[in-house]
Amino acid sequence: MSLLFSPLPLRSLVLRNRLWVSPMCMYSAVDGVPQEWHHTHLAQFASGGAGLIIAEATAVLPEGRISPRDTGLWNDAQRDAWAPIVAAVHARGAHIGVQLAHAGRKASTWWPWAPEQGSVPVSEGGWPTVAPSAIAFEGFAEPAALDAAGIAAVVEGFASAARRALDAGFDVLEIHGAHGYLLHEFLSPLSNHRDDAYGGSLENRARLLLEVTEAVRAVAGEDVPLFVRISATDHAPGGFAAEEAAQVGEWAVARGADLIDVSSGGLVAHQRIDVHPGYQVPLAAAVRRGGRIPSSAVGLLTSGAQAESVLAEGAADAIFAGREWLRDPHFGLRAAHELGDVIAWPDQYLRARWR
């Protein structure tokens, strides 16, 4: 058995393998409610051999949506719509989590294929945005700096959304602290110019993320795994860096996180990223710190052999992939076949298992 298709125990769960589906926004919800598209989209990955599927960035508050078409978990109608999707994944033998998110200054934007881009005007269904400081992402509307009451509302929003996620049956909770969204905006000195307890030192800039982690862990109890996704570098001078990410990861684990999902970038438009196969793997290794901080790797990981090598070299404990699952929803079955592993296939697909 390869490392990639060996089980991974996390609290009360035993995930059937370590090849997982990254959260990917579909921009197809209505008033935060997932639709039939989400049901088909997510269930197919379970049939395709994924060990864990993380549903897309799901807003904890209405103003936390990236776009008007984002999914949410700020009300019970959204919770109830997620439940059959979760059940469909379970029926196909996989586990499923949800990424709880607040988009901060990158909220209220048009979806990628909309005829316009940038911020959605309030007159067309958009809303005012918030951030640690009143500094706009390039080309977007200027946000309002969160005050103490606003920060408290964000923490409560994450906790309430976590409770609804568990009621819907999700197995894993992930906090989105990456890609230039609100929690990442607090982490980076490029977007956080506060002079209170939430700005300045790394400890202060990490405060909100850690408060959210503690609040979500309190809701999750002792049995539910909790992940935190971070951008381990801003890919820009003066920004959040890998050494800081490793420290924040250590703090998050001490406050109840079980795994740090390591990505990068997204904070500023002037980022410069050298994109190549496995380009983010060294960041996962840096955060993992020799295995002391459980981590996952992501970023142009497209084959079973490549993913196996990442685990074998000790850079990560699990592999997230995104685009490859979109290209091939049965990536897990293919990767296992490439590695010579015998894993469970859906009975309906057995005729294709060997030849």
The parent domain of residue 16 ranges over 8-352
Is there a domain that residue 204 lies in? Answer: yes
Is there a domain that residue 1 lies in? Answer: no
SS3 54: strand
Is there a domain that residue 3 lies in? Answer: no
Query: Could you say which residues of the chain have pLDDT below 70?
Result: 355
Is there a domain that residue 307 lies in? Answer: yes
Of the candidates 27, 181, 198, 349, the residue annotated as catalytic is 181
Is there a domain that residue 2 lies in? Answer: no
In the DSSP assignment, the letter for residue 143 is P
Closest to 251 in 3D by CA, of 298, 204, 296 = 204
pLDDT at residue number 88? 98
pLDDT at residue number 240? 97
pLDDT at residue number 355? 64
Is there a domain that residue 128 lies in? Answer: yes
Domain count for the chain: 1
Spell out a b/e string for 19-46, using b for 16 or more CB atoms within 10 Å of the CB, else e: bbbbbbbbbbbeebbbbeebbebbbbbb
Cα separation of 208 and 116, whole Å?
Answer: 33
Is there a domain that residue 317 lies in? Answer: yes
Nearest-10 crossing angle of helices 331-339, 304-312: 70
DSSP letters for 231-251: ES--SSTTS--HHHHHHHHHH
Radius of gyration over every alpha carbon of the chain, rounded to an integer in angstroms: 19
Tell me if residue 181 is catalytic.
Answer: yes
Kindly report the length of the chain.
355
CATH classification at residue 19 = 3.20.20.70
Give the global pTM.
0.96
Rounded to the nearest 5 degrees, what angle is found at the Cα of 129, between the Cα atoms of 126 and 132?
170
Q: Which residues contact 256 (CB under 8 A, 6 or more apart)?
A: 213, 214, 216, 217, 220, 226
Q: Which long-range contacts (CB under 8 A, 24 or more apart) does 201-207 make?
A: 202/244, 202/247, 202/248, 206/248, 206/251
Q: Which residues contact 33 (CB under 8 A, 6 or more apart)?
A: 71, 72, 77, 78, 81
Cα separation of 267 and 103, whole Å?
Answer: 11
Is there a domain that residue 333 lies in? Answer: yes
